[in-house]
């Protein structure tokens, strides 16, 4: 039980440091995919890509990649 809890905390901490807006969008899109038509789902995914592409976190991810460093996401 202690090992499982420690691993769960480690995973939660890693996720919290990630691109939380992108994670939320992915989760929302996965759930919607069960009820949407393919056409609607593709439209929603495209809209999500456009919205996320203009975020501060996306710009940080690109900068970090170019600078060969770990990105620091802020959820913006």
Q: Where are the domains of the chain?
A: 2-66
Q: Which two tokens stand for residue 22?
A: 């992108």
Region 36-65: what's the mean pLDDT? 96
Contacts of residue 71, Cβ cutoff 8 Å, sequence gap at least 6: 19, 57, 60, 61, 63, 64, 65
Distance of alpha carbon 56 from alpha carbon 59, whole angstroms: 5
Structure tokens at 68: 């060969």
Tell me how crowded residue 18 is: count the other CB atoms within 10 A of its CB.
13
What is the reported pLDDT for 75?
86
| pLDDT over 90 at 63, yes or no | yes
pLDDT tops 90 at residue 1: no
Q: Is the pTM value of this prediction over 0.75? A: yes
């Amino acid at each position: 039980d202690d090992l499982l809890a420690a691993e769960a905390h480690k995973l939660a901490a890693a996720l919290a440091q990630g691109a939380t807006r992108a994670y939320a969008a992915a989760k929302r899109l996965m759930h919607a995919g069960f009820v949407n038509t393919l056409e609607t789902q593709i439209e929603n995914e495209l809209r999500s890509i456009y919205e996320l592409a203009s975020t501060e976190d996306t710009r940080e991810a690109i900068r970090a990649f170019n600078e060969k460093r770990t990105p620091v996401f802020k959820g913006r």
